[in-house]
Structure 1
């Protein structure tokens, strides 16, 4: 798992049928101090994240263990929207609003 920031949406009108209805987002991996890296992933969004939000991403076989992604060709999913991120008592990120 890693924490990342949603940077955009991927639209694919022609895809395998069992992926219909699954929203795709681009997510940029963040460092432990919330700095953006150069690493991006395309992830299935199962929680309704918006662009700019910090999210928890899982990949590999774990990404196919939700009711929406079971037996689908998913390699990464957004599994949570981050509200607060703390390391050693220091708040790294606090969601506004």
Structure 2
């Protein structure tokens, strides 16, 4: 599972029928609270997240299970909206 920030929406007029009804979001995965990975992932949204939200991302079989369709050709799903992150420094 990863934490990411929603940076936009993805629309596809032609797609696999198992994606019908799925809201797709573009998400930057966080490396830490201040840095993001290069590029972005596309994830199916089951929680109603919006641009700017911090979200929890599930990947692989867990993502397909979360959307309730094992045949859906998805690799990532938004499974939660993050309210806050607290990271303790043990140094």
Tell whether the structures are fold-level matches, with TM greater than 0.5.
yes
- TM-score between both structures, scaled by the size of structure 1: 0.83
Q: Over residues 14-70 of structure 1, what are the superposed CA-to-partner deviations in whole Å (9 max), with x where a residue is unaligned?
A: 111121110100000112223223131000011110000000101111111125433
Moved over 6 A (4+): none
Structure with the higher fraction of residues in strand conformation = 1
Q: Which has the higher contact order (CA 8 A, sep 6+)?
A: 2
Matches within 5 A, 1:74-93: 74-88=74-88
- SS for the counterpart of 1:32 is coil
In structure 2, list runs of 5 or more residues that go unmatched. Answer: none
Paired residues in the alignment total: 89
- SS for the counterpart of 1:37 is coil
- SS for the counterpart of 1:52 is coil
In structure 1, list runs of 5 or more residues that go unmatched. Answer: 90-97
User: RMSD over aligned Cα, in angstroms?
Assistant: 1.5
